[in-house]
Structure 1
Amino acid sequence: MGSETFDQRMERACRDREIPGAVLVAGDISGSFRYEKAFGYRSLKDPAKPDPMPLDATMWLASCTKLMGTIAAMQCVERGQLNLDDDITAILPEIGEQKILKGFEQGPDGKDKPILVNRTKVITLRHLLTHSSGLGYDIFNPDLMRYRATEGVSPTLTAVKSMKDSYTFPLLFEPGESWEYSVGIDWAAWAVERVTKMSVPDYMEKHIWGPLGIESMSFHPKTNPACMEKLTDMSERSGGAHHLFGVPADPEGKVSYTDNRVWGLEPDGFASGAGGFGAPLDYQKILQSICANDEKLLKRSTVEEMFKPQLSEASRKIWLARLAIPEVNQTFGGFPAGIRSDWGLGGCLIMEDLPGLTRKGTMTWGGYPNLQWFCDRKAGLSGILGCQTTIPGDLKVIGLYQEWQKELYKKYGKEKL
């Protein structure tokens, strides 16, 4: 396989059912360098006649939506409608009412009784955007799962009642004192709704998607033909998920079609942390705008703020401790061991040069069904890999993404980096 090109490697990965298919899009800020290709299949529902992946295929973007939610919030900061360091609970009283979950004790009936204490520190928009507010995800955090059990609720990514009800639960720590991947950006976007008097999709259509000529994005794909007609089916790797960490239990298992979409096509509400659908081809337009700092979405000074390290020392310590757990690191996209990193407003910041790859200050993140993106402002390069497999932290996809990045920087960067 020594002479195999990257494109041939991708084709082989799809042919051998290492992955179902993928869309890869990248470009530089000048527009002179472009990579956009689709590999494999949009659907494996009929193995005898798999449906080829179109370049403009749409996908569940999951946590890739968080960057869009952050941009919406930062636009409101620019207008003076929100402030990064004000008490956000004046606008979001639902989370202001929540106490901090400190553990459990047994009640007289032998059942768990949550130990809840009052919060003493202010929750800010900056906390919400950097996962340092004290909020979490009840589907991912064992303590919140246990708390939900006391309510008779089974955590799920799909809202049980309304979206806001499903995302209202106790804090896990004092704001700014730790780090927990969270529903904070969902709440930040609901703050946008309240100060602008516009729904999340209406707001994004007017202020993010529209200015960039994006038509494929939606929170309810069944209402948007441009999204629904090219929506990619889901696949799942055989062997199921790891019982503790939720990553694939058998990294070498083959993928096949599944009707488990994880996130519903008609959710009750608009989740700016996980609910977006759209084409990676269009998502790249957002990355391009931010990378070029072209002011189509945000002022230059706002983008500069987004790319500054935001975590307190205490929060950063916990974030890095999470990354040191291999399976957790895998879930977050597979960062090099021991890498220096922080959080900006919109994604993780890589705080060192990676030889032959991204430069210091690169922002990156991804989405649950194995999407990954990066925005390297120093090199002037950004890109996204879109895939749709239902178990996050897939080593096959991570490996191909990392090979693709090497290929991109080799082609683009010899004389520029």
Structure 2
Amino acid sequence: MSLKERLDPILEKWTKEGNLPMISAGVVTKDGIIYLGASGSNNLNNPEGKTNLDTIFELYSTTKAVTTTAAVQLIEKGLLGLDDLVENYIPEIKGIKILDGFDENDKCIFKDPVNKPTIRNLLTHTAGFSYTFFSFKYAKLYDTTGKPDPFKDSWDEILTPYIYEPGTKWHYGVNIDVLGQVIQKVSGVTLDEYFKKNIFAPLGITSMTFIRKPEQVANKAIIHSREENGSLKVLPDDRPLEPEFHCGGHGLYGTIPDYLRFLLIFLNKGTSPITGKQILKPESVENYSFANLLPEGVFVEDSLEHSQPYYSKPVTTFSQLPKELHTWTSSFYRTDVPLPTGRSAKSFMWCGLPNLYYWIDPTEGVAGMLATQVFPFFDEKCLEANNEFESEVYKFLRA
């Protein structure tokens, strides 16, 4: 039985009867793409809306690996240093304080930080920033002030208070959006321009962009929300076609086949087997993309705060491993033990808020991605579909 004969039925099963609205997925080995598949509707309110391989997805936090790859390119060129202070590139960060809590009138209590965040801190989510959906402090700040809202794609919404002392703790947040601003300052061009010239064009990627054209909107997968009764509700697409600020942490749109072209470089020491173009040097992949870069004594948190249920369910992935066995590189979450799906030790992964998931397994020489567009994150059906998909890939490879 071919890989397509194994995987297509999984996609079709999970997009039937309202389990998931749509799925686009694929698998690559060192030599290139070995499977692509799509199933379901890109809009459950539109019976004619079919998901295909050209369907545009909101990539959300899968954007981050592209941004961090751009940062490593600048490090290679000597234009950026891993332990440079962020304020060297963004002077306004000097005024940021730590949100220490709230008084009896719900007014913010701030204190001055002792440490100054570095580029390493941004890359590894140890700079002190958070997200409203993973921080009770940020969620309360949003409820009382209307800020921060990272999805407004505005720099003013990104440069928010710290919630802990920079460099002392891992906490997932807008760090890579701030890093994107650093890249724009160093390169002198927008993030969209930088990506297209230095990453997308060399890889033959044509769909990935911060700025959407009308034809991309016409074939876009619409985000749905899982209601309490399990049904799916279509959400409005209210993000701007030309955003004010290119958010390096979540702002890209594109197709899943194109994203797989990007993942391929990490199975090939930084070079595309399709175009032959080198995006990163082999030593950069080993020393940045694959290496633990967390500050000494800092570990990935056991779990993320469940502060906005609309956006995310409780995230417990990290609590399943001893702290020494999972780390953070310049781009990825790294697990240092084999996983039940078949994934090897020292593999890499990350995800996007509307339930997009990818993994990279250099030991086995395989990477894959399964994407849908459903809030909240960590949806049980999405996780089950992803685990079944990944497990079937490894069964095929090891048969």
Q: Compute the TM-score of the two structures, normalised by the length of structure 2.
A: 0.88
Q: Using the alignment, how far apart are the partners of 1:204 and 1:332 within structure 2? A: 30
Task: Quote the Cα distance in structure 2 between the aligned partners of 1:329 and 1:341.
Answer: 22
Tell me, yes or no, if structure 1 residue 381 matches structure 2 residue 366. Answer: yes
Structure 2 Cα separation of the partners of residues 255 and 67 of structure 1: 29
Q: Structure 1: how far apart are the matches of 2:319 and 2:392?
A: 18
Which deviates more, 366-375 or 302-311? 302-311
How do 1:166-315 and structure 2 match up within 5 A?
166-222=157-213, 225=215, 227-239=216-228, 253-256=230-233, 258-261=234-237, 263-295=239-271, 296-305=278-287, 306-312=289-295, 314-315=297-298
1:15-54 matches, within 5 Å, as: 15-31=16-32, 34-46=34-46, 49-54=47-52
Counterpart Cα distance in 2 of 1:324 and 1:135: 16
Q: What letter corresponds to residue 118 of structure 1 in structure 2?
A: D
Alignment counterpart, residue 135 of structure 1, candidates 129, 132, 138: 129
Residue identity matched to 1:359 = S
1:153 to 146, 150, 156: 146
Tell me, yes or no, if the aligned pair for 2:358 and 2:369 is still in contact at 8 Å: yes
SS of 1:15's equivalent in the other structure is: coil
Q: Is the 8 A contact 1:100 1:173 kept in 2?
A: yes
SS across alignment from 2:132: coil
1:10/1:356 CA distance change after superposition, 3 Å: closer
1:121-164: CA deviation from partner (whole Å, max 9, x where unpaired): 231111101111001123542212333455x32543432xx711
Question: Which residue pairs with 1:360 in the alignment?
Answer: 345
Indicate conservation of the 8 Å contact 2:312/2:377, yes or no.
Answer: no
Give the aligned partner of residue 78 of structure 1.
76
Q: How many pairs align?
A: 384
User: Could you tell me how far 1:56 is from its partner in structure 2?
Assistant: 2.1
2:378 corresponds to:
393
* Matched letter for residue 30 of structure 1: D
Provide the rounded CA distance (Å) in 1 between the counterparts of 2:16 and 2:286.
42
* Gapped regions of structure 1 (runs ≥ 5): 240-249
Contact kept in structure 2, 1:131 and 1:179, CA below 8 Å:
yes
The 2-side partners of 1:362 and 1:402 are apart by 15
Structure 1 vs Structure 2 CA RMSD: 2.6
The DSSP-based 3-state class of the residue aligned with 1:206 is helix
Kept after mapping to 2: 8 A contact 1:333/1:393 = no
Whether the 8 Å contact between 1:63 and 1:367 is mirrored in structure 2 is yes
Matched, 1:406 2:391: yes
User: Which AA in structure 2 matches 1:310?
Assistant: L
Amino acid at match of 1:35: Y
Q: Output the amino acid matched with 2:44.
A: L
In the alignment, the residues of structure 1 paired with residue 162 and residue 369 of structure 2 have an alpha-carbon distance, to the nearest angstrom, of 32
Report if aligned partners of 1:333, 1:372 keep a CA contact under 8 Å in 2: no
Taking the aligned partners of 2:106 and 2:313, their CA distance within structure 1 comes to 32
- Please report how far the alpha carbon of residue 186 of structure 1 lies from its aligned counterpart in structure 2 after TM superposition: 0.8
- Deviation, structure 1 residue 91: 0.5
Q: 1:103 to 1:176 in 2, by over 3 A?
A: same
Matches of 1:297 and 1:412, distance apart in 2? 27
Provide the rounded CA distance (Å) in 2 between the counterparts of 1:332 and 1:58: 26
Distance 1:187 1:22, change over 3 A: same
**Structure 1 residues 391 and 165 mapped into 2: Cα distance closer, same or farther (>3 Å)?**
same
SS at match of 1:375: strand
Q: Is the 8 A contact 2:135 2:306 kept in 1?
A: no
Task: Tell me the distance in 2 between the aligned counterparts of 1:276 and 1:321.
Answer: 26
Q: Does the aligned pair in 1 maintain the 2:212–2:241 contact within 8 Å?
A: yes
Checking the alignment, whether the CA contact within 8 Å between 1:158 and 1:264 is kept in structure 2 is: no
Give 1:199 shift: 0.6
Q: CA deviation at 1:391?
A: 2.0
- Provide the identity percentage: 28
Whether contact under 8 Å (1:262, 1:390) holds in the other structure is no
1:319 to 1:386, Cα distance in 2 relative to 1, 3 A: same
* Structure 2: gaps of 5 or more residues: 272-277
